[in-house]
Chains A and B, each alone.
Chain A
Amino acid sequence: MRTVNSLIGSPIERFEDLRFLRGRGEYVDDLAARNDMLHAAILRSSVAHGRIRSIDVAAARALPGVHNVITAKDMGNRVPRVPMRLQPLPEFERFGQPVIAENKVRYVGEALAVVLAGTAGIAEDALGLIEADIEPLPAVADRHASAAEASLLFEEVGSNLAMRFRALRGDASAAFAGAPYIRRERFRTQRHMALPMEPRGLLAEWDAARGRLTVYGGAKVLFFNRRTLAKQMGLPESAIEIVENDVGGGFGARGEFYPEDFLIPFAARLTGRPVKWTEDRREHLMCVNHAREAECDVEIACTREGTILGLRGHAYVDVGAYMRTNGAVGARNVAQFMSGPYRIPNIDIDVALQLTNKTPVGTYRGPGRFETDFFRERLLDMVAQDLGLDRVEFRRRNLVSQREMPYQLATITPFESKDELDSGDYHATLDRCLHEIKWSDKSKLAGKLIDGRYHGVAVGCFIEGGAAGPKESARIVLELDGRYSVYVGSSAIGQGLETVFAQIAADALEVTIDHIRGVFHGSTSYVGDGYGAYHSRSVVMGGSAILDAATKLREAIRTQAAQRLACQPSEVEIVDGVKAVGPGGKSIGLNSISDAGISADGAFLNKKHTYTYGTHAAHVAVDPKIGHVELLDYVLVEDCGRIINPMTVHGQAIGSLVQGLGGAMMEHLVYDQEGQLLTGSLADYLIPTASDFPNLRAIVFGNHPSPINPLGAKGAGEGGIIAAGGVMANAVANALSALGVEPRELPLTPTRIWELVQAASSNKQSV
């Protein structure tokens, strides 16, 4: 009976659940109060753009229970800036955010002052007593106002354009010059955000005697954040520990370095007391990275038979008021990944990053990919209709095939970022998806009016990039009781790392899973150098680092055992993970070697991305009178390379998909012309509930391992979200095709659908 190598690929139940189900998770706000602890509340600008004349904190300071109120004045000559972590081009530095507003405010929500008080209630009471005198300036409300540059966010720079990227492949000019068919369209996706269920929080403790800072509430990229904080506070990295507690979701937004990640530790050191800050939901909506607001004006060139020749055009991303840690990623991705899984030999797409007086943007699951997938898939359906082609066959004809891989994607300039599709059979997931949704039956309903509702179907193909490098670290320790502790630089954000990594470690060590004492993740004290959880990298990077550590540990065990067994390490066999056996059958229990303290460090370095890929299909019924869309069936098929835990990867697919449907149908951060955020609560910012999308299925398999890492795994978890916008919009267009409705903008709210129906029918009347 096989007792080893039985865990990778198994849907084993998660260890994390044992505490989460009992309410025994420890999220940062759950941490016990420290002695002398102060609570922080942050005064946030209610003006989108203005010059700060004064901030009068006297009345706030005088409120009983208030210890101190911090403003920019308390930070010396130069208020630290939030650094850029990804694409840190020098051009972006001019647009870096000061951790607290200095002489200008540039978005509603920007921090003006930090109140420290004995209770959170008093701290918040004090906010109302601070007088911020701000001379309003004209708000740059959208990308048009930004480009017009009548009002500048950074007068000294003289421009609201933060950067322009360009995606190039082949010769688009030539391709378009000779193209028999060209279609040009404009599309728009709306501003929305990750919205994890746990708001942010931090607890900072400064030990003055030892000069040590401990910060609880870290997530995602703790090592980068520690490095940043160390520089900002003038401390060696070794003096700072950032601890990852349980984390209530991230989706790209939590864990990046935000202003508060400096302000709260700064307050702790300034006061000499522990400082706790818990974000509330109102703040969260206006402070945590926004995402997805993009427009494009693109053209596609094809042959009349339906071979895509080229894609070119312009995209515009509204990046908000500052360039924060990863504010350029979405925009870069809009350009680079517009081709998706399709063969498009000639590409020329530029994307402008326009600054506006809104909350800065960052990455949100499938950054730029959701937007660009919507742009491209809408275009494909429109082209198919124009050319009289079957929408499925048109896609099939143009999907990159296995034998073309690795397939080079468009190159991004500046910084020559190249990327290639690694492995896979894109046609197979298309076929499987069509089969699962019973496309041949469902498509017969396309455009039909049944019981007052129009039915529509659509299909869309996507790629999901993952496994960002450059590196991840792990350490495995053989403990005194013969069990193994796994330490890893990856961060947990709900994706089940403690279980998935235990599976990888146990199989690599050839032991049963109960030999794994635990997986310790995220916190900076666990490994010397870690990178974290982003770009769907944890399994590939952390998992491969664990593999490396396990291999090295087994060598170390053999070496130790060989000494005791008086033989060569190569003659030692490790049996059942509990004993080392030498030639002649002499054996020694691993728990008697282990007082030598055996551990091994591992790492995985990587420069290439993996590509999980698949196909979505939807069947909708649209009520044209009230603009309601009912999702009758939705199938997502995804190949994500070698699967470690099919249960968790399936769960990610469904969860990601529902987020995508939220983005397609209802989520929207709405600003007015003065830069006021109108969606200030969860009653206004709408996310899906249990009743909205009950009819979904995900089928996830791993038929095409990735060639670029020892696990053969690919990053997964973002594919569900990426294709949802394009597929839903195409399904609605298909349903309302008799009325000539063509959605070009998300979200597909009842108002928008109704207005499209009205506009289409009045067009018909006037013809």
Chain B
Amino acid sequence: MPVKFRVNGRQVEVDVEPRLTLADCLRHHLRLTGTHVGCEHGVCGACTVIVDGAAVRSCLMLAVQADGAEIVTVEGLSSDAELTPLQKSFRKHHALQCGFCTPGMITTAHALLSEEPDCDAARVREVLSGNLCRCTGYIPIVEAVLDARAAYQPKAGTRDRGGDRA
């Protein structure tokens, strides 16, 4: 089936089986391998992407359901030139080790901070509870997200925070 959507600001068109998940479509058809697959049953959060402004599990969406949607992946939340404030905060706080859960964490955190730049530690932990990490023990990730709140305050320019296309 043909499917058309926008990813990271770019219009794409693919022809896929209905059963192909959005995660697999992004990874293998569009070669956006930053979104990771950790469980394929909607628990680990490594596959988190932003669809029409909301963080979702791309392993639980079919690519065909993305027709007409606006999708942002971790690649769209990054820039070649420099790490974004959120990414810098992760690095500063050592909020990643093996890196496998990291795109999901970054994407979820970006979605949260975009909506709730004043979220507190409890809210950050609540929202990140849907993203599993086996390396860090979460504490540095929570610290990194809290430390990045400043970049999402209304007075900070939108260009600073989201890479090129968020």
**Bound complex: CA of A495 vs CA of B28, how far in Å?**
28
Q: Say which one of B62-70, B93-101, B153-161 lies at the interface with A.
A: B93-101
The reply to whether B44 and A689 form a contact with Cβ atoms under 8 Å apart is no
Interface set, chain A 184-220, CB cutoff 8 A to B: 194-199
Residue interface bits B114-147, CB-to-A below 8 A is 1, else 0: 0000000100111011111111111111100000
The reply to whether B96 and A121 form a contact with Cβ atoms under 8 Å apart is no
Closest to A650 in B: B94
Q: A23-B33, A683-B41 are in contact. Are A651 and B134 (CB under 8 A)?
A: no
Q: Does B71 make an interface contact (CB < 8 A)?
A: no
Q: Does A223 make an interface contact (CB < 8 A)?
A: no
**Bound complex: CA of A268 vs CA of B38, how far in Å?**
25
Interface centre among B75, B94, B129 (most CB of A within 10 A): B94
Q: A198-B36, A651-B140, A682-B43 are in contact. Are A27 and B97 (CB under 8 A)?
A: no
The reply to whether A690 and B100 form a contact with Cβ atoms under 8 Å apart is no
The reply to whether A121 and B17 form a contact with Cβ atoms under 8 Å apart is yes
Interface centre among B38, B73, B106 (most CB of A within 10 A): B38
Give, as a whole number of angstroms, the nearest-CB distance from A480 to chain B: 26
Q: Does A670 make an interface contact (CB < 8 A)?
A: no
The reply to whether A23 and B78 form a contact with Cβ atoms under 8 Å apart is yes
The reply to whether A690 and B91 form a contact with Cβ atoms under 8 Å apart is no
* Contact for B40 among A22, A280, A657, CB less than 8 A: A280
Q: Does A248 make an interface contact (CB < 8 A)?
A: yes
Q: Does B103 make an interface contact (CB < 8 A)?
A: yes
The reply to whether A17 and B131 form a contact with Cβ atoms under 8 Å apart is no
Q: Does A88 make an interface contact (CB < 8 A)?
A: no
Q: A197-B133, A248-B100, A683-B41 are in contact. Are A21 and B87 (CB under 8 A)?
A: yes
Residues of B within 8 A of A198 (CB): 36, 38, 98, 100
The reply to whether B140 and A493 form a contact with Cβ atoms under 8 Å apart is no
Closest to A493 in B: B98
Residues of B within 8 A of A248 (CB): 36, 38, 98-100
Q: Does B39 make an interface contact (CB < 8 A)?
A: yes
Give, as a whole number of angstroms, the nearest-CB distance from B82 to chain A: 10
Closest to B138 in A: A690
The reply to whether B137 and A657 form a contact with Cβ atoms under 8 Å apart is yes
* Contact for B134 among A32, A251, A694, CB less than 8 A: A251
* Contact for B97 among A13, A26, A651, A681, CB less than 8 A: A651
The reply to whether B132 and A694 form a contact with Cβ atoms under 8 Å apart is no
Closest to B86 in A: A21
**Bound complex: CA of A78 vs CA of B37, how far in Å?**
36
Give, as a whole number of angstroms, the nearest-CB distance from B98 to chain A: 3
Give, as a whole number of angstroms, the nearest-CB distance from A293 to chain B: 20
Residues of A within 8 A of B87 (CB): 21-22
The reply to whether A687 and B134 form a contact with Cβ atoms under 8 Å apart is yes
Give, as a whole number of angstroms, the nearest-CB distance from B85 to chain A: 12
Interface centre among A647, A651, A696 (most CB of B within 10 A): A651
Residues of A within 8 A of B97 (CB): 249, 494-496, 648, 651-652, 655
Residue interface bits A28-42, CB-to-B below 8 A is 1, else 0: 011011000000000
Closest to A646 in B: B94
**Bound complex: CA of A515 vs CA of B131, how far in Å?**
37
Q: Does B3 make an interface contact (CB < 8 A)?
A: no
The reply to whether B38 and A23 form a contact with Cβ atoms under 8 Å apart is no
The reply to whether B41 and A690 form a contact with Cβ atoms under 8 Å apart is no
Main SS of chain B's interface residues?
loop
The reply to whether B34 and A24 form a contact with Cβ atoms under 8 Å apart is yes
Residue interface bits A227-263, CB-to-B below 8 A is 1, else 0: 0000000000000000000111101000000000000
Closest to B142 in A: A690
Q: Does A16 make an interface contact (CB < 8 A)?
A: yes
The reply to whether B39 and A121 form a contact with Cβ atoms under 8 Å apart is no
Residues of B within 8 A of A448 (CB): none
Closest to A16 in B: B99
Q: Does A138 make an interface contact (CB < 8 A)?
A: no
The reply to whether B136 and A651 form a contact with Cβ atoms under 8 Å apart is yes
Residues of A within 8 A of B91 (CB): 13-14, 17-18, 21
* Contact for A27 among B20, B39, B90, B100, CB less than 8 A: B100
The reply to whether A690 and B94 form a contact with Cβ atoms under 8 Å apart is no
Residues of A within 8 A of B92 (CB): 13
Give, as a whole number of angstroms, the nearest-CB distance from B59 to chain A: 10
**Bound complex: CA of A199 vs CA of B130, how far in Å?**
18
The reply to whether A249 and B132 form a contact with Cβ atoms under 8 Å apart is no
Q: A14-B91, A495-B97 are in contact. Are A21 and B39 (CB under 8 A)?
A: no
Residues of A within 8 A of B99 (CB): 16-17, 19-21, 25, 246, 248, 494
Residue interface bits A539-578, CB-to-B below 8 A is 1, else 0: 0000000000000000000000000000000000000000
Q: A20-B96, A30-B27, A648-B94 are in contact. Are A494 and B135 (CB under 8 A)?
A: yes
Q: Does A693 make an interface contact (CB < 8 A)?
A: yes
Closest to A194 in B: B134
Q: Does A603 make an interface contact (CB < 8 A)?
A: no
Give, as a whole number of angstroms, the nearest-CB distance from A713 to chain B: 19
Q: Does A397 make an interface contact (CB < 8 A)?
A: no
Q: Does A654 make an interface contact (CB < 8 A)?
A: yes
The reply to whether B46 and A197 form a contact with Cβ atoms under 8 Å apart is yes
Q: Does B74 make an interface contact (CB < 8 A)?
A: yes
**Bound complex: CA of A652 vs CA of B97, how far in Å?**
9
**Bound complex: CA of A437 vs CA of B46, how far in Å?**
34
The reply to whether A21 and B83 form a contact with Cβ atoms under 8 Å apart is yes
Q: A197-B98, A683-B43 are in contact. Are A654 and B83 (CB under 8 A)?
A: no
Interface set, chain A 600-655, CB cutoff 8 A to B: 647-648, 650-652, 654-655
* Contact for B74 among A17, A22, A655, A694, CB less than 8 A: A22
The reply to whether B137 and A655 form a contact with Cβ atoms under 8 Å apart is yes
Interface centre among A18, A27, A33 (most CB of B within 10 A): A27
Residues of A within 8 A of B43 (CB): 681-683
Closest to B99 in A: A20
Residue interface bits B1-36, CB-to-A below 8 A is 1, else 0: 000000000000000010110000001100111111
* Contact for A249 among B19, B34, B78, B135, CB less than 8 A: B135
Residues of A within 8 A of B100 (CB): 25, 27, 196-198, 248-249, 494
The reply to whether B78 and A689 form a contact with Cβ atoms under 8 Å apart is no
**Bound complex: CA of A26 vs CA of B141, how far in Å?**
22
Q: A197-B98, A655-B135, A690-B131 are in contact. Are A18 and B83 (CB under 8 A)?
A: yes
Closest to B106 in A: A21
The reply to whether B96 and A21 form a contact with Cβ atoms under 8 Å apart is yes
Give, as a whole number of angstroms, the nearest-CB distance from B165 to chain A: 13
Closest to A494 in B: B98
Q: Does B58 make an interface contact (CB < 8 A)?
A: no
**Bound complex: CA of A495 vs CA of B136, how far in Å?**
10
Residues of B within 8 A of A494 (CB): 97-100, 135
Q: Does A716 make an interface contact (CB < 8 A)?
A: no
The reply to whether B94 and A658 form a contact with Cβ atoms under 8 Å apart is no
Closest to B141 in A: A690
The reply to whether B137 and A693 form a contact with Cβ atoms under 8 Å apart is yes
The reply to whether B134 and A655 form a contact with Cβ atoms under 8 Å apart is yes
The reply to whether A21 and B78 form a contact with Cβ atoms under 8 Å apart is yes
Q: Does A765 make an interface contact (CB < 8 A)?
A: no
**Bound complex: CA of A285 vs CA of B83, how far in Å?**
36
Q: A20-B96, A248-B100, A694-B125 are in contact. Are A689 and B41 (CB under 8 A)?
A: no
Interface centre among B34, B98, B101 (most CB of A within 10 A): B98
The reply to whether B90 and A32 form a contact with Cβ atoms under 8 Å apart is no
Residues of A within 8 A of B32 (CB): 23
Residues of B within 8 A of A249 (CB): 97-98, 100, 134-135
Closest 4 CB pairs of A and B: A23-B34, A494-B98, A20-B99, A248-B100
Q: A14-B94, A249-B135 are known contacts; what are 11 more A-B pairs with Cβ within 8 Å? A: A16-B99, A25-B102, A29-B27, A246-B98, A246-B99, A281-B40, A655-B135, A689-B130, A690-B141, A691-B126, A694-B142
A-B contact pairs, 12 of them (CB 8 A): A21-B96, A22-B74, A23-B32, A23-B106, A197-B38, A247-B98, A655-B134, A658-B138, A690-B131, A690-B142, A691-B129, A694-B142
